[in-house]
């Protein structure tokens, strides 16, 4: 007896705790528009509460969350009493649960003397937005209300009227006196991303997800704010309808057709399916294309298509028996941040990555999540030791959506950007106004090897013909080439090994490597891969400084005296050459025989085309476009890839493309090849 009383007391305590927790989450989600836990956590709590109440019906109370649909209204909004309750749906999470639902449905219909072997369902995606009810009288929209607690909602007519896809008047000549329609307001993904981007730029609050954004937008007191937000809506069910309209309808499909005829948007992915097999096939098909849909969904909904059968099946306290939601694996979960490490990408970019307590989300176990960059870390205020909401959608890399600040421990550690590259120990630089921080050890850093070698060997750099991406990957992965200097130690025997090159190709590549040693000063500077140093800047540096040694000792102030080298570029150049590892690789290149002709620097007054910008289009007869580009740059000009109002002239060859039309429309002068040769003075680079 005593044990039974103790167990009953424990159950009551757990019930009270569950109800209080769920009520707190309901308030945060529905009233404050600021959810503190992902759906999967809420569903877990609700399922546990339902389980206890099902086993102990004597403990069910009228104020239990299981007896309600949503949450209370905001005091700032007018109260609206729904003519017909707006109910929630029960959920299934696996094939077995769906099969059990289908069996219950057939059993109940058979018990009601309905002969059925297989049920036809109307299947549609379960939109992840905010439920809405619109009331039209004689075709005109008179009010829109949120679900609220299912019986009473909030009047949000002033905001719904701003949604362009919602008709202010229904189409058609003969309209019923009252026509109430139910649907979902949502924010498309593209609009959500753009809205949050603008909010970040303005320093304003961002939304956690599109559903949160839709709910928050509906509950703006100022409709002008709602009008600025890219809301949309789909409709799928009826509320109160007069004039005998419902008596003329036989199927759920006919309801959707009627909505379309009246000018109301419906989901294009909806369709009829046969039996539980059809439901599962639909579920998997929609699941595969989920990530490609322009809006968020978190499952699919199946409704018995026959309306007479729907009436026969009826309702339970908070949900209809004739429909069910089949949820996808959770895309959001809660877990702990165990550490934050920094990965170095192929271009030197440092990306903070959260190491997580493993958690099952989106159908897989996730133990890492990207934090993108330090701006994102600081904006979300992610700290080591935090409880966070992790999201994984489709094949997208898992990311941290938000921090559950209420669960932050006192010893949570703030994340800071490392001063040194975690891979090679070189300096880490973050340019002013830039979100990305980078390792500046580009010639040495193992994380950047492949990209550094590809750039070094490219046509406009050292032009090593035959050293392609696949071969570079092999040489780096097998640690034969660790820096660009190691290229000059490669032998034909190494290159001719199985799965690399044939003997003839290997000898050709060795010859190309040897040939590349004779280059130009500007090409060499460009080949080093210094951040923000393209061909034009490399040429300007070569024209300004007599030798490489002069650049190695130049400070940022001196570098800024070079045309078009501003503070950011000067810092990148100076920092690159100050790295001991980079200097070691440069010296190894020189020792290997990489060389260029010594030349006196060109004074700025000897650069007749300095400050001018040219674009080349079509085929030239007496030189290639690359040759023309090099000769223009040697005289101080810039050569751009597209025409703008700032273009000095467009050089036009045979079979000119669309750039000519652009130049004519902008009033940009056009030069013939003869005019180009005249400006070049016939000189060579």
The residue from 7, 103, 118, 126 that is catalytic is 126
Provide the β-strand partners of residue 306. 251
Other CB atoms within 10 A of residue 245 CB: 16
| CA gap 86, 153 in Å, rounded | 9
CB atoms within 10 A of CB 44: 13
CA distance 384 to 543: 50
- Placement of tokens 């070094």 in the chain: 456
Nearest to 134 by CA among 318, 320, 247, 265: 265
Candidates 595, 591, 347, 597; CA nearest to 485 is 591
**Active site includes 126?**
yes
Based on C-alpha coordinates, what's the Rg of the chain? 34
Token duo for residue 596: 């260029």
Q: For residue 80, which phi and psi values (nearest 5 degrees)?
A: -125, 125
The string of DSSP letters for 334-350 reads EEEEEEEEEEE-TTSEE
Terminal-to-terminal C-alpha distance of the chain: 102
Neighbours of 604 (CB within 10 A): 15
141 HSE (CA, 13 A, CB side): 25
Long-range contacts of 351-359 (CB under 8 A, 24+ apart): 352/376, 352/377, 352/415, 354/382, 354/388, 354/400, 356/388, 356/390, 359/333, 359/334, 359/335, 359/390
Helix ranges (DSSP H) in 92-185 = 95-111, 157-160
Q: How many whole angstroms separate alpha carbon 652 and alpha carbon 479?
A: 47
**522: helix, coil or strand?**
helix
Kind and range of the H or E run holding 159? helix 157-160
Q: DSSP letter at 69?
A: S
CA distance linking residue 490 with residue 478, whole number of Å: 13
Beta carbons of 226 and 164 less than 8 angstroms apart:
no
Rounded-to-integer distance, Cα 612 and Cα 636, Å: 8
Whether the Cβ atoms of residue 181 and residue 238 lie closer than 8 Å to each other: yes
CB 220 within 8 A of CB 247: no
Distance separating alpha carbons of residues 667 and 572, to the nearest angstrom: 37
The catalytic residues are 126
């Amino acid at each position: 007896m005593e044990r039974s009383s103790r167990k009953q007391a424990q159950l009551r305590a757990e019930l009270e705790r569950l109800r209080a927790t769920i009520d707190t989450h309901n308030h945060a989600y529905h009233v404050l528009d600021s959810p503190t836990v992902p759906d999967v956590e809420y569903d877990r709590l609700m399922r546990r509460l339902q389980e206890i109440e099902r086993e102990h019906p004597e403990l069910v109370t009228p104020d239990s969350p299981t007896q309600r649909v949503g949450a209370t209204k905001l005091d700032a909004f007018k109260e609206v009493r729904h003519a017909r309750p707006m109910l929630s749906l029960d959920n299934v999470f696996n094939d077995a649960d769906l099969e059990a639902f289908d069996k219950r449905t057939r059993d109940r219909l058979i018990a009601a003397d309905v002969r059925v072997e297989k049920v036809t369902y109307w299947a549609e995606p379960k939109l992840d937005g905010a439920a809405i009810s619109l009331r039209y009288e004689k075709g005109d929209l008179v009010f829109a209300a949120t679900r609220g607690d299912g019986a009473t909602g909030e009047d949000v007519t002033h905001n719904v009227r701003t949604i362009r896809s919602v008709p202010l008047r229904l189409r058609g000549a003969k309209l019923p006196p009252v026509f109430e329609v139910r649907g979902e307001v949502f924010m498309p993904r593209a609009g959500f991303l753009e809205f949050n981007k603008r909010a970040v730029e303005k320093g304003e609050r961002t939304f956690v997800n599109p559903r949160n954004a839709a709910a928050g937008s509906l509950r703006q007191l100022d409709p002008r704010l709602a009008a600025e937000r890219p809301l949309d809506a789909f409709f799928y069910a009826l509320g109160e309808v007069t004039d005998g309209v419902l008596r003329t309808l036989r199927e759920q499909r006919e309801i959707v057709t009627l909505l379309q005829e009246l000018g109301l948007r419906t989901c294009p992915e909806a369709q009829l399916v046969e039996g539980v097999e059809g439901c599962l096939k639909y579920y998997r098909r929609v699941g595969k294309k989920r990530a490609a849909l322009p809006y968020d969904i978190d499952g699919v909904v199946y409704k018995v298509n026959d309306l007479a059968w729907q009436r026969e099946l009826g309702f339970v306290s908070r949900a209809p028996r004739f429909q069910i939601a089949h949820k996808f694996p959770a895309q959001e979960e809660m877990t702990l941040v165990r550490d934050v490490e920094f990965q170095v990408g192929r271009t030197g970019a440092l990306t903070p990555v959260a190491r997580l307590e493993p958690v099952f989300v989106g159908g897989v176990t996730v133990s890492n999540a990207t934090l993108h960059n330090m701006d994102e870390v600081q904006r979300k205020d992610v700290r080591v030791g935090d409880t966070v909401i992790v999201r994984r959608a489709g094949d997208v890399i898992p990311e941290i959506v938000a921090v559950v600040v209420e669960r932050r421990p006192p010893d949570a550690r703030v994340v800071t950007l490392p001063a040194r590259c975690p891979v090679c120990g070189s300096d880490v630089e973050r340019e002013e106004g830039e979100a990305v921080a980078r390792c500046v050890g580009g010639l040495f850093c193992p994380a950047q090897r492949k990209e550094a070698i590809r750039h070094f060997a490219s046509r406009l750099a050292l032009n090593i013909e035959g050293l392609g991406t696949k071969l570079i990957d092999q040489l780096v992965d097998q640690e034969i080439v660790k820096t660009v200097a190691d290229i000059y130690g490669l032998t034909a025997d190494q290159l001719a090994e199985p799965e690399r090159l044939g003997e003839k190709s290997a000898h050709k590549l060795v010859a190309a490597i040897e040939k590349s040693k004779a280059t130009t000063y500007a090409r060499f500077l460009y080949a080093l891969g210094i951040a923000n140093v393209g061909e034009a800047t490399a040429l300007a540096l070569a024209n300004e400084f007599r030798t490489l040694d002069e650049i190695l000792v130049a400070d940022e102030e001196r570098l800024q005296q070079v045309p078009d080298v501003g503070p950011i570029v000067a810092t990148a150049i100076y920092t690159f050459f100050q790295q001991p590892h980079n200097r070691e690789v440069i010296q190894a290149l020189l020792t290997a025989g990489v060389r260029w002709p010594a030349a006196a620097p060109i004074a700025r007054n000897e650069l007749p085309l300095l400050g001018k910008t040219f674009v080349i289009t079509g085929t030239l007869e007496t030189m290639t476009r690359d040759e023309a580009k090099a000769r223009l740059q040697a005289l101080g000009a810039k050569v751009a890839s597209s025409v703008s109002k700032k273009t000095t002239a467009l050089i036009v060859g045979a079979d000119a493309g669309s750039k000519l039309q652009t130049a004519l429309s902008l009033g940009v002068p056009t030069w013939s090849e003869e005019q180009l040769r005249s400006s070049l003075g016939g000189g060579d680079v």
